[in-house]
Structure 1
Amino acid sequence: MKHIAKYFFSICLMLAIMISAAIATAKNTEKDIDDDYSADYYSDEGKLLFKVRGYGIASNAKQKGLPKSSVAAPASTNPFVENGYGGDTATTIFFNDNMAAELSLGFGVLNTKYSTLNNVAHNYGGQNTAGKKKKIYMVPLTGTAQYHIAPYGAIRPYVGAGYHGAYLFTKAKEFKIKNGHGAVLQIGVDFVAKDDTFINVDIRKYFLKAKVTYKGALVKNATNISSTAKIDPLVVSAGIGFKL
């Protein structure tokens, strides 16, 4: 978890520097200059931006609430989920120069930690899993309200906050997982290019809990072996956008 926190801090520091540069640039930019890099790109209310992004997922998911183990020396059942990857599409609508709302739909893949599943089997007298990581698929629908700090010039940072619902499923025979939802925090920047296109870099912190129920030979077909997994993924995205 420490390396994730350091990674997140480094990215936030980099974006903070970009925000400072963008604000300085915006103060020296005239709105009536007819140039792709310095024009008021968001000058008309209701303008839409469409984005396509790929992303990496950082998670160190902990699970709580498992029943007492049936062995004398139980093994650790954390972390439950490792890192993953995915992508999304997003549409942003501007209400004025600074205020906007974004709606995104994504698809992500998370890997469960192989040793953790085997530790669950050890703790409850079940059979070890096959030697493959089990995947969890995540389909988050996310809505955020955004404040664009410096909506002029070539570098245009923003911050946002909102809520999401995530459809979660797995093909694994050893467990099942329920859907989840929660708050989202967001920070990002648009790098404006020519012809109404831009490069988008975006970081979102999802607060996501989900119920995990173990089944089958992993837990000797017990029916009450379940936990709450605090997944809370950090999603780092990069992609291309278009003004519609």
Structure 2
Amino acid sequence: MTRIEKTLVSVGALALVVSAGAACAQDAAYKPLGKGSFVIDARVTSVAPSEKGEIFTAAGADSGLHVDVNNDTVPTLGFTYFFTDHIAAEAILGTSQHTIKAVGPGTDVQVHKTWVLPPVVTLQYHFNPKGKINPYIGAGVNYMDWYSGKDYNGFTVKLKSGAGTALQAGADIALKGPWALNIDVKKVFYKTDANINSGALKSKVKLDPAVVSVGLGYRF
């Protein structure tokens, strides 16, 4: 099973657990969304890079190695404000930790472990804000800030922080009163420069993580 398949299975299982809890809730009036609504979502989020990055020498020769970055599952918060009944903006806050390896023929070595703070801000369109099931789409920007990195096995690695773009799709399923089940998928497009061993090796790494979340929202 690939890393992406494992991620989807994990998030799918979490969604089933949350859905089961929702099914146990009494059928009661729910609070609709609309202009002026403010929503806080507490989520479990899987960050799954689909990395692509060959490692080259300082002279530009192909080393035969490429970059491998693992997934991480973390808690996150989402904050959404509705400017109109259908138009809203969301900001998400969370941090994830990733192990970076150099991989190639006969080589699979850990070189770095780092935290990243990847805030994403999107502008959303909500199709059915007054209804019990409200699908939405969005697009926006993100910033990847790498921090608290630790080097391994004699390597030194520096990653360049920077901005990217994001696409989003999701749905809110109203529960009892102000509570709602939220399922959210983002695709972040982001590329970073990796400087290895003071420039002796380098790579332009296309990370493009899938950010898949499930959680509970509270509507104000």
Q: What's the TM-score, normalizing by structure 1?
A: 0.69
- Name the one with the larger helix percent: 1
CA RMSD of superposed structures (Å)? 2.9
Contact 1:61–1:82 at 8 Å: present in 2 too?
no
**Shift in alpha-carbon separation, 1:210–1:101, aligned structure 2, 3 A:** same
In the aligned structure 2, how far is the partner of 1:42 from the partner of 1:243? 8
Query: SS where residue 66 of structure 2 aligns?
Result: coil
Structure 1 residue 103 corresponds to structure 2 residue 82 = no
Q: Quote the Cα distance in structure 2 between the aligned partners of 1:55 and 1:176.
A: 26
**What CA distance in whole angstroms lies between the structure 1 residues aligned with 2:173 and 2:33?**
13
Please say if residues 61 and 232 of structure 1, whose CA atoms lie closer than 8 Å, have aligned partners that are also in contact: yes
What CA distance in whole angstroms lies between the structure 1 residues aligned with 2:74 and 2:104?
A: 23
Amino acid at match of 1:152: K
The aligned counterpart of 1:233 is: 209
Decide whether the 8 Å contact of 2:67 with 2:102 is kept in 1.
Answer: no
SS at structure 2 position matched to 1:97: coil
For 1:98 and 1:183, the matched residues in 2 are separated by: 22
Partner of 1:19: none
**Matched residue type, 1:50:** I
Any conservation in 1 of the 2:55–2:67 contact (CA below 8 Å)? no
Q: CA deviation at 1:116?
A: 5.2
The structure richer in strand per residue is 2
Residue pairs, 1:1-244, within 5 angstroms:
4=4, 36-37=29-30, 41-43=32-34, 45-64=35-54, 66-67=56-57, 68-69=60-61, 74-75=63-64, 77-113=65-101, 115=103, 119=107, 129=109, 134-169=112-147, 170-173=149-152, 174=155, 175-215=157-197, 223-244=199-220
CA distance, structure 1, for counterparts of residue 79 and residue 48 of structure 2: 24
Letter of the aligned partner of 1:96 in structure 2? Answer: T
Shift of 1:69: 4.5
Residues 162-193 of structure 1 show CA distances to partners (whole Å, capped at 9, x for unaligned) of 00111013212521212121110000011111
Give the 3 Å change call, closer, same or farther, for CA 136–3 of structure 1 in structure 2: closer
Q: Within 2, Cα distance between the matches of 1:61 and 1:233?
A: 8
**CA distance in structure 2 between the partners assigned to 1:106 and 1:242 by the alignment:** 18
1:103 shift after superposition: 1.2
* Alignment check: 8 A CA contact 1:80 1:229 kept: no
Offset of residue 141 of structure 1: 1.5
Equivalent position SS for 2:29: coil
Percent identity, aligned pairs only, is 29
How far apart are 1:96 and its partner, in Å? 1.5
Counterpart code for 2:39? L
Residues 116, 191 of structure 1: alpha-carbon distance in 2 compared, 3 angstrom cutoff: farther
- Partners of 2:105 and 2:70 lie apart in 1 by 12
TM-score by length of 2: 0.76
Amino acid at match of 1:155: I
Matching residue of 1:24: none
Aligned residues: 194
Displacement of 1:80 after TM fit?
2.2
Q: Say if 1:142 and 1:103 are closer, same or farther in 2 by CA, change over 3 A.
A: same
1:162–1:183 contact (8 Å) kept in structure 2: yes
Q: Which runs of 5+ in 2 are unaligned?
A: 12-27
Which of the pair has more CA radius of gyration?
1
Contact 2:54 2:67 in 1 (8 A): no
